Structure 1
Amino acid sequence: MTLPPEPPRRPTADELERLLLGASRRYTWKQIAEGAGLTVADAQRYWRALGFPDVGDEQAFTVWDMEALRGITDLVRDGVVDEATAVQMVRALGRMTGRLAEWHVETLAEIIEENEAAGVGTGSRLTSAYLVAQKLLPEFERLLIYTWRRKLGASVNRLVAIGRIGDAPLLAAPASVGFADLVSFTRLSRGLSVEALGELVERFEATTNDVIFGTGGRVIKTLGDEVVFTADDPKTAATIGCRLVAEIGEDATLPDIRVGIATGPVVARLGDVFGTPTNLAARLTALAERNSVLVDDATADELADVGDFALRALPPTTVRGLGIVNAFSVTVRREPTA
């Protein structure tokens, strides 16, 4: 990245923080709670839900902290959401943006280190961080809002489609849940440098994201060497699973992969999914051979009428907490159609 011209003097750490927060810290708990029409206890509840630690009685808050609390208070007061739902929404927002912020900081730190090592930096990491933030903040802020609206539209359209199918609750509708993880990742990671391990995880996440989103699924979460995804129907989920095996399992520079898929009603909460299909998919992944896709009988029943896939029944297996499970290996008979 090419940095803009260096400012006349080097910025301080406080100036960098002020740039990022958009204002100076000047308010206490009592002041922002009063400004938002909340008790201190309620203000602290939302603060913790966002994922921030307690800060005591010092002047730790900006005018934007007060505005954010005031906005939440107005939503509850106007009856748009109740207080419990507001806390849930705030908690989900904190989780998602917290991870995004950590990733952005890690990436920007790498850029700054590379620039300094190449002799094209400013000679000061703090100055470089200030200049990068100054250049990127406005664009990423716009991109964040754009992406959220786009994702919101896609999710709403999906719920509308589900609502037309039957009388099942929208947030407990049938779905196919998939788990995919890298084989022997723990052993492999011990022999890698920090940089090589980071590159491996990044390639895994990038590849799985491209395959899952590109095929019509949704990434629920990634846990280093594992990704959890959902799809609206078994065919899409099986297509994703087989393409993950083709993309990752056949790549000599990546570890082998295994995938488990189960279908049934799941409950969606805070961006995650819960229910028997989620647990079963995880168990099937543990049972799967390397570079293979295992599905449960509900998924297999739906795929039986799809000519794109070949199914092979495995001997029934007793799984702890789930009893006897009938698993099926799935392979592509021909390239699945969209």
Structure 2
Amino acid sequence: MEQQLLGQVPHLTRLEVSERSGVPLTVAAELWRLLGFPQLADDEVAFTDGDVEALRTSSALYEAGVIGPESQAALVRTWGRSFARLAEWQVDLLTQVVVEAADSGADPVERLTAVASDVLPRLEALQAYTWRRHLAAAAGRVLSDGRAGATDVALPTAVGFVDIVGYTTRSKELDEAELVAWLEAFEDRASGVVLEHGGRIIKTIGDEVLYVADSAADAAAAAWELTRIGADEDDPFPAVRAGVAYGEVVARLGDVYGPTVNVAARLTSHARPGSVIVDRGAHDVLCPDHAPPGPDGEPPGPWRLKRLSRTSVKGYARLESWVLREPRG
């Protein structure tokens, strides 16, 4: 199985990999650490020619300036975490093959090796395709919003958090398989709604989804839709609450940072079940002061908002917030 995955039977020590690649052992060891690989003894045979080539490639990218010293550690660490999670999920799928083979009386190792030989090249090709499509989309956003040639630039962005109501209680009622299925269904449905409203999922954190959108209106619409679905007793989607904030956000290595992200998280923790709370930044975009009020005397635009009392949350003593009401029309 190791030969199938690595392309060769391991036959090199880390000292030999360092020598053949021309990369100092201290540099190679730091790279492997950032990628999340276990540290091995100098005389332990665990490497292949692929490791030699990977070090050479990393060195070439560094020398070409593609990976700079200020971003190398963060970038490589992100790679390691992302692929580690993906590998864990894929191995779970492959182990199902082993269980099925054992139940049928077949040799599990032979069955697993045969499946891996057929499936892994396809998975690898699909991963490359997915990466290139996301790369093209990300490049388009960078070129269109003025970040080309700049790094860690704060740009106006809407940030939304959606949190399952009563997650702790519900999780205690489910066994492990049921809990996983429940969370996967939540993530899948939430991701779909966010994408339909022009947003992008940043990450899922157990019972919570963090997403961004270029406009506060899109972020609010996604949050409103999810709370509406969650309030439907005939829909298996769980009850949720949400917070949306709009302001400058730094996007870096697939994650987002800054006070706007913190405010969105705090608003979510303060929201009542089935409600969406927005901050001052989102409110001012959804209901601009310079526009005349609607026929009913309320702020213009499709959203009705009710001002809440200033509230104190962690890090913000008196935070202004509004709760979304049923949109007009």
Q: Could you tell me the TM-score, scaled by structure 2's length?
A: 0.89
Residue 140, structure 1, aligned to residue 120, structure 2: no
Query: Secondary structure of the residue that 2:318 maps to in structure 1?
Result: strand
Query: Secondary structure of the residue that 1:174 maps to in structure 2?
Result: strand
CA distance in 2, matches of 1:194, 1:164: 43
CA distance in 1, matches of 2:279, 2:196: 24
The amino acid that maps onto 1:277 is: T
Residue 39, structure 1, aligned to residue 24, structure 2: yes
Structure 1, unmatched stretches of 5+, are: 1-15
CA distance in 1, matches of 2:4, 2:271: 50
Q: Map 1:159-178 to 2 at 5 A.
A: 159-163=142-146, 171-178=153-160
- Indicate which of 127, 133, 152 corresponds to 1:150: 133
| CA apart distance, 1:170 | 6.2
| CA apart distance, 1:320 | 2.3
Partner of 1:92: 78
Greater shift after overlay, 58-67 or 99-108?
99-108
Q: Map 1:252-263 to 2 at 5 A.
A: 252-263=235-246
| 1:254-291 deviation digits (Å, cap 9, x = unpaired) | 43111111111122223211110111111111111111
Partner of 2:222: 240
Measured on the aligned residues, the alpha-carbon RMSD in Å equals 2.3
Number of matched pairs:
316
| CA apart distance, 1:131 | 2.6
Query: Secondary structure of the residue that 1:163 maps to in structure 2?
Result: coil
Q: Could you tell me the TM-score, scaled by structure 1's length?
A: 0.86
Partner of 2:38: 53
Residue 315, structure 1, aligned to residue 297, structure 2: no
| CA apart distance, 1:108 | 3.4
1:44–1:169 CA distance, 2 compared to 1 (3 A): closer
| Aligned sequence identity (%) | 38
CA distance in 2, matches of 1:205, 1:67: 37
Partner of 1:128: 111
Partner of 2:258: 275
Partner of 2:319: 325
Structure 2, unmatched stretches of 5+, are: 289-299
CA distance in 2, matches of 1:164, 1:46: 28
1:175–1:135 CA distance, 2 compared to 1 (3 A): same
| CA apart distance, 1:164 | 8.1
- Indicate which of 66, 69, 72 corresponds to 1:83: 69
Residue 224, structure 1, aligned to residue 212, structure 2: no
Query: Secondary structure of the residue that 2:71 maps to in structure 1?
Result: helix
- Indicate which of 167, 179, 193 corresponds to 2:161: 179
CA distance in 2, matches of 1:105, 1:257: 32
Query: Secondary structure of the residue that 1:156 maps to in structure 2?
Result: helix
Partner of 1:8: none
Greater shift after overlay, 200-209 or 129-138?
129-138
CA distance in 2, matches of 1:125, 1:248: 43
